[in-house]
Amino acid sequence: MTNIDGMRSTSGDGQERDEGNGFNEEANRHRWDGTVKVELSYAPVRYHCVSCFPCKMSQGRCEQIALHSCRLACMSLDVVRGRMPLKNLERRMTWPCINKLDTMSKLLEIQMTMDSELRNRLDRYPTVPKLIDMVFKSGTTLEAAVCVQLGWSTYWVNLVLRYQGSRWICDFADLG
């Protein structure tokens, strides 16, 4: 099997194995649909994933990446609302992305001190994911849009993840 870097790998028993980011010879698909169970969601969260190139990813690995994207989106929203410390994102996001979320968090805190209705609407409810939509732009770049609900309000969190080393790192986060 050839991994994303063009390297061939086998396990000790001679069987070919998956190399880290989830792309393998198991399936040659361009679309995956399914559900993942997320902690605060009442029901399994639906995900839809497409690839812009011939992709050989297993359904199981796609579910893992969907869950990772969903958790990052919820954590980002919780950090911006002041419900989670920023340091929880250090190993999951790049520093420029973390700095932008920190700035957004400070601006939102100033706005919430002036607007008690906004504070009640954003601060009272947990972040509940509803839908995950992902697009693989390349073997190392993924764009995800996660729909989340805070009380009666619906928000979208857009993420760009890049495969660095042995994990998917968030390079861009847009909350709105």
CATH of the domain at 134: 3.10.450
Does a structural domain hold residue 24? no
Q: Is residue 61 part of a domain?
A: yes
pLDDT at 119: 81
Condensed to tens digits (0 to 9), the pLDDT of residues 119-140 reads: 877 778 888 999 999 999 988 9
- Is the residue at 80 inside a domain? yes
Q: Is the pLDDT of residue 170 over 50?
A: yes
- The boundaries of the domain holding residue 115 are 29-175
Residue 23 is classified by DSSP as B
Q: How far apart are CA 162 and CA 119, in angstroms?
A: 33
Question: Is 78 in contact with 61 (CB distance < 8 Å)?
Answer: no
User: How many other CB atoms sit within 10 Å of the CB of residue 54?
Assistant: 8
pLDDT tens across 32-43, in order? 999 999 887 778
What local confidence, expressed as pLDDT, does residue 25 receive?
40
Total tally of structural domains belonging to the chain: 1
SS3 33: strand
Q: Quick check: is 11 in a domain?
A: no
Which residue type occupies 105? S
Q: What pLDDT is recorded for position 22?
A: 54
Query: Where would I find the H helices in 15-163?
Result: 59-80, 95-114, 116-123
Q: Is residue 10 part of a domain?
A: no
Q: Which amino acid is at 37?
A: K
Strand, helix or coil at 166? coil
pLDDT at residue 106 above 60? yes
Q: For residue 135, tell me if it sits in a domain.
A: yes
Least confident of 51-55, 96-100, 107-111, 171-175: 51-55
Share of the chain above pLDDT 70, in %: 83
> In the structure encoding, which two tokens stand for residue 75, read together?
């954590």
Is 8 domain-assigned? Answer: no
The structure tokens listed for 165 are 């080393």
Let me know if residue 83 belongs to a domain.
yes
Rounded distance, CA 119 to CA 135, Å?
33
